[in-house]
Structure 1
């Protein structure tokens, strides 16, 4: 069920709820680019687990208004506003890919409300000490981030062009990701249901513009606005060892930085395996802290 929530500054946020209405509340933060309609466990799985899953379009994506020059930290206030509107005092948060740093922001900045947090195939901060940020990263992602570091205008020009191509052929974009990712990502892609959800996700994310995508990439190349070391909620950092979109050393860095982190590295896994393991992560997020 979709609805519009108004943020404190008047922006519209498009929100979707699935699963058991009176179940354990878990926010799922989508990837980059992505939307509230991104891949998630099927409704019957959520209901059986007792999960009330909340997703939303980050600013600039789908039906949510843009928030120019936003940081990773800024998303925590949007999550709090949505939780207030839905009557949720405490909740868990899971983020996949580009959503993972934003999930960590919620745990860092909403410590009285976030019970547990899971970061699946996350990037580390661009200034992470001792980390070679680009090592092991696919050439397309390296180029995208280097363009962003050259300036917002260049990032907007490049990503707007890509967004237009995706609007014409979202399935083609999904296929290009899979082919660059390798064997494990191709195995995940063979699931028709997940493939359909990925295509729908890209189409919805970029239906109007590339603004959300641009702002995500710029945020990842800027200071996050918080230090992961301040997170004290139980934290799961999950990664596939063969990920070329967010290399596994990013997860290991986060695991060393976050005091209560449990790091799980899947041998032979890659970026899209985060879609397959999400149903098994949800019960962990529901545990009493």
Structure 2
């Protein structure tokens, strides 16, 4: 099947679950696996398809478990379990190694994927990190409040239109196409309800710090980002010897400005 010309594939995981993902960019290029936000979906690929094609990379954007078309996982699912799904995705694509990108709440899952010996580089854009202390991970300790938060957001988005979704992520003026893309990603994410974002935020909030391998790390983060705190990300960069680029932009604005640089960096050989 395809969504706006982007190919969607479903693969069967070892435990029988289905993992859906979108393929974009250059078919013959090196592989980048992008981790969408919370909530988010494989439709996040629409924001990255152009830069991926320009950089000559093949982009894979999976619906993480419980989002979009991917099956929900067992109830005891944790953050680090994502590494197994990520490795199964690479095996399904016959890919030996990949680089990973994490946007927003996808940051912790990109870091989990980076613990695999099949990950060569990791880029974080406007990302949260495990235990980073943002508002939503704090709310995740009270699950019914967080579920109500996402239900209210979905209701407001349906009645107020796509702009209501985009305005939660940026103050800048966006093209109608970008607004529609951001809204479509949000609505697709919540096709199965709010269980997936609540589960992921709780997992990210409660996961103990874990050691990262000697994997090249680069971060792009906005100084005006009110959705993801900058200090925890800076601390991580200092700890692992990565590189942090500060951008005078807000949450989504940073992604829109820096996506070509992040994808191009990920396309390079380590």
TM-score normalised per structure 2: 0.88
Matched, 1:62 2:68: yes
Shift in Å at residue 9 of structure 1? 1.2
Contact 1:13 1:59 in 2 (8 A): yes
Q: Which segments of 5 or more consecutive residues in structure 1 lack a partner in the other structure? A: 135-141, 179-184
Of residues 154, 159, 162, the one that matches 2:153 is 162
SS of the aligned residue for 1:94 comes to: strand
Match of 1:217 among 194, 201, 224: 201
- Alignment CA distance shift 1:99-1:44 (3 Å): closer
| SS at 1:74 equivalent | helix
Structure 1 residue 285 and structure 2 residue 266: aligned? yes
Distance 2:87 2:168 in 1: 32
Cα offset, 1:265, TM superposition: 1.2
Which residue, 38, 42, 46 being the options, matches 1:32?
A: 38
Q: 1:186 to 1:153 in 2, by over 3 A?
A: closer
Partners of 1:199 and 1:22 in 2: CA distance: 30
* Maintained 8 Å contact 1:35/1:202: yes
Q: Contact 1:24/1:50 (CA < 8 Å) preserved in 2?
A: yes
SS of 2:233's partner is: helix
> Does the 8 A contact of 1:5 with 1:14 survive in 2?
yes
For 2:237, which of 238, 248, 255 is the aligned residue? 255
Distance 2:159 2:76 in 1: 28
Confirm whether residue 101 of structure 1 aligns to residue 93 of structure 2.
no
The answer to whether structure 1 residue 239 and structure 2 residue 221 are counterparts is yes
Separation in 2 of the partners of 1:9 and 1:239?
Answer: 36
For 2:221 and 2:17, the matched residues in 1 are separated by: 33
Rounded Cα–Cα distance in structure 1 between residues aligned with 2:213 and 2:177:
35
Structure 1, residues 192-233: CA drift from partner, whole Å, max 9, x if none? Answer: 332221011011111231122111221122115x51x42311
- Say if 2:135 is the partner of 1:147: no
TM-score scaled by length of structure 1? 0.83
Alpha-carbon deviation of 1:45?
A: 4.2
Deviations 1:163-198 (A, max 9, x none): 4444555515414404xxxxxx322x4233322210
Q: Which contiguous aligned blocks of 4+ residues in structure 1 show a shift greater than 6 angstroms?
A: none
